[in-house]
Amino acid sequence: MSVSRIQVHGDDPYDVVVGAGVLAELPGLVGDGVRTVAVVCPASLPEISRPVCDALRAAGYEVLALPVPDGEQAKTSGVAAELWSAFGRYGMTRSDAVVGVGGGATTDLAGFVAATWLRGVRLIQVPTTLLAMVDAAVGGKTGINTPEGKNLVGAFYPPKGVLCDLATLVSVPREDYVAGLAEIIKGGFIADPTILMLIEDDPAGARVPEGEHTRALIERKIQIKADVVSADLKESGLREILNYGHTLAHAIERAEDYHIRHGEAVAIGLVYAAELSRLDGRIGDDIVERTRSILTSVGLPTSYRKDAWPELREHMRIDKKSRGAKLRFVVLNGLAQPSRLEDPSEELLESAFYEISR
């Protein structure tokens, strides 16, 4: 399998390397002058961190393996503090490095502790899930959750490189893999309709890492994020389009105490955002129905329980895209035409939710 390189431009440019055998590039990204490399990885998946640790040790680095809880349970101030304490006990200096290995929650956490330890040490991300490869590990957003909401504490901190070994996707549980498709589908609606056509051409193939269009879907979504982040690292404008579907999604995640997969929440959020767009007169029924059809074809949810609206509305109140007391949503003016909807009426918000709760 050949290796592809997708560059993220900016003040600190880096490559997202996609293919097989990409771990061979890890020592080069860590670089010279580094003594210790902290490898942050889910405790339940030592097998995915082992090749990373072996490659680093073979290159002469001291490896500090730091297991963390699975999923969103890792993204807490307590877990971050434990990692900082481990860095201190081991004597990690500003010339050392952190490698995040695993899904999006792990790469978010690893990036945050790397950004904040000694005000920033070298970071390399090795995402091993579909969601992390196409979204979480790319773009330099790092963060942890608080009781008040998701990713409210964080930093923009680009890595030195991202290594996506497609072979690791074969071992990802099917439900987790399918959940990652929500972020790819989002990319199709906001920027690259070819993604939608590839999935519609072979929805069964889209659900598995061995699918005919798998690599094209992954690379197209990474390219979307690379293009957006290159133009707007700190979400001052353009980058907000990547939040399409996420305002409701984050509220659902909090309502479910993070026991729902991020991609499943995003899938519901995509339908909600499409309904908002339609009810606001921006798009027709065709895009809303296409949203439902594509998500359903790969096995993702498109609705949520009706009685949850008051709780979800309260959670959205402190969404990080809000400005003052005003909610801001990413909506569509047409296919691949994202826009913003600021301070929508309560009637519009509730009407759109009614459409996804019927």
Annotated binding site for Zn(2+): 183, 246, 262
Tell me if residue 82 is catalytic: no
Tell me if residue 160 is catalytic: no
Q: Which one of the listed residues 141, 207, 220, 261 is annotated catalytic?
A: 141
Q: Which one of the listed residues 122, 220, 221, 250 is annotated catalytic?
A: 250
Tell me if residue 306 is catalytic: no
Q: Which one of the listed residues 186, 221, 225, 321 is annotated catalytic?
A: 225
Neighbours of 111 (CB within 10 A): 28
Q: Which one of the listed residues 25, 235, 253, 264 is annotated catalytic?
A: 235
Q: Which one of the listed residues 240, 243, 264, 292 is annotated catalytic?
A: 243
CA distance 351 to 306: 11
Q: Which one of the listed residues 239, 254, 292, 321 is annotated catalytic?
A: 239
Q: Which one of the listed residues 25, 183, 253, 264 is annotated catalytic?
A: 183
Q: What is the three-state SS of the chain?
A: CCCEEEEECCCCCEEEEEECCHHHHHHHHHCCCCCEEEEEEECCCHHHHHHHHHHHHHCCCEEEEEEECCHHHHCCHHHHHHHHHHHHHHCCCCCCEEEEEECHHHHHHHHHHHHHHHHCCEEEEEECCHHHHHHHCCCCEEEEEECCEEEEEEEECCCCEEEEEHHHHHHCCHHHHHHHHHHHHHHHHHCCHHHHHHHHHCHHHHCCCCCCCHHHHHHHHHHHHHHHHHHCCCCCCHHHHHHCCHHHHHHHHHHCCCCCCHHHHHHHHHHHHHHHHHHCCCCCHHHHHHHHHHHHHCCCCCCCCHHHHHHHHHHHCCCCCCECCECEEEEECCCCCEEEEECCCHHHHHHHHHHHHC
Annotated binding site for NAD(+): 70-75, 104-108, 128-129, 141, 150
Tell me if residue 119 is catalytic: yes
Q: Which one of the listed residues 119, 210, 347, 358 is annotated catalytic?
A: 119
Q: What is the maximum alpha-carbon separation in the chain?
A: 62
Tell me if residue 141 is catalytic: yes
Q: Which one of the listed residues 262, 278, 292, 321 is annotated catalytic?
A: 262
Tell me if residue 290 is catalytic: no
Nearest to 49 by CA among 213, 136, 165: 165
Tell me if residue 225 is catalytic: yes
Tell me if residue 213 is catalytic: no
Nearest to 224 by CA among 283, 166, 139: 139
Annotated binding site: 70-75, 104-108, 128-129, 141, 150, 183, 246, 262
Residues forming the active site: 119, 141, 183, 225, 235, 239, 243, 246, 250, 262
